[in-house]
Amino acid sequence: MIGVFGGSGFYDFLDGPQSVAVETPYGAPSAEFAVGTFEGVEVAFLPRHGSDHQFPAHRVPFRANAWAMKELGVDRVIGPCAVGSLQMPIAPGHLLVADQLVDRTWGRDHTFFDGPETRHLGFADPYCSELRPLAVDACRAAGAETHDGGTVVVIQGPRFSTRAESRDFASSGWEIINMTQAPEAQLIRELELCYVNISVITDYDTGVEGEIEPVSHAAVLETFNATLETLRGALAHLIPAAAQTARECQCATGMAAAG
């Protein structure tokens, strides 16, 4: 089974969706899952912010969401999300498949191993080495201007960055900015599931040089919705490809050396 985190616009992707409630040791996930088929593949979909977008990024129940994916039998997770661009060549409407992340969040439940059992995850490469090239190919097959690789800096939210913060992130050479990739990616890896991100570039962040309007939530939603059909096309290529690929990546055994 393939898992997909996303927004409410993904509900109508699935054929024959059934609502499935999952209980976890970490409380309830963001919503009930929609489980159905997509391009002939069984898919479990969960809106990470809740069915009514009631969870801001810093309140998303990330541990419950990740645990529920594994409980359902998911072994590969796709995490589309909206991001801002920190570099001019990466323009709104483009897609980017990240290969690195920088975590600037705080106070979130970042691990399943917070005592008394302690594990130290090797996380040098946060995204699945097998799913990443499949995702890049899928985005390009859908006709999107696609960037292969890039670093996402994850901020706490729910506010957007100040100009000074944004300029600092851009000067570090990071490409995109988001509020949900951490600890989502880490928790998925701790459960030894595969994870790949598809970032939808919705805006230029506030500190990007030039005549750039400050980012607003309305502008983010407008661009994301305009790109939704392209993202659907990418998923139509990626989900069957992922389902047909044997898991020989480091994700499946990532905790073996984490003691």
* Per-residue pLDDT band at 215 (split at 50, 70, 90): confident
Encoded tokens for 9:
């616009």
Any catalytic annotation for residue 12? no
What pLDDT, on the 0 to 100 scale, is given for residue 7? 66
Overall average pLDDT of the 236-259 stretch: 89
pLDDT of 59-82, one tens digit each? Answer: 999 999 999 999 999 999 999 999
DSSP string, 220-239: HHHHHHHHHHHHHHHHHHHH
Q: Three-state SS for 69? A: helix
User: What is the DSSP pairing of strand 151-155 with strand 100-104?
Assistant: parallel
What pLDDT, on the 0 to 100 scale, is given for residue 94? 96
Encoded tokens for 182:
């951490």
Q: How far is CA 17 from CA 44, 64, 169, 228, 240, in A?
A: 9, 21, 40, 19, 17
Give percent of the chain above pLDDT 70. Answer: 97
What pLDDT, on the 0 to 100 scale, is given for residue 208? 81
What pLDDT, on the 0 to 100 scale, is given for residue 162? 93
Domain spanning 2-253: CATH 3.90.1150.10: no
Overall average pLDDT of the 94-100 stretch: 98
What pLDDT, on the 0 to 100 scale, is given for residue 254? 78
What pLDDT, on the 0 to 100 scale, is given for residue 119? 87
What pLDDT, on the 0 to 100 scale, is given for residue 67? 98
What pLDDT, on the 0 to 100 scale, is given for residue 211? 56
What pLDDT, on the 0 to 100 scale, is given for residue 193? 97
Mean pLDDT score of the chain:
92
Greater model confidence, 218 or 94:
94
Any catalytic annotation for residue 114? no
What pLDDT, on the 0 to 100 scale, is given for residue 228? 79
Entry pTM: 0.94
Give percent of the chain above pLDDT 90. Answer: 77
Overall average pLDDT of the 174-182 stretch: 97
d(CA 79, CA 242): 13
Overall average pLDDT of the 42-61 stretch: 94
Q: Three-state SS for 201? A: strand
Reference 140, options 175, 90, 96; nearest CA is 96
What pLDDT, on the 0 to 100 scale, is given for residue 148? 98
Residue 97 contacts residue 132 (beta carbons within 8 Å):
yes
Q: Three-state SS for 196? A: strand
pLDDT of 222-235, one tens digit each? Answer: 777 778 789 999 99
Write the single-letter amino acid at 26.
Answer: Y
Greater model confidence, 141 or 212:
141
Greater model confidence, 203 or 218:
203
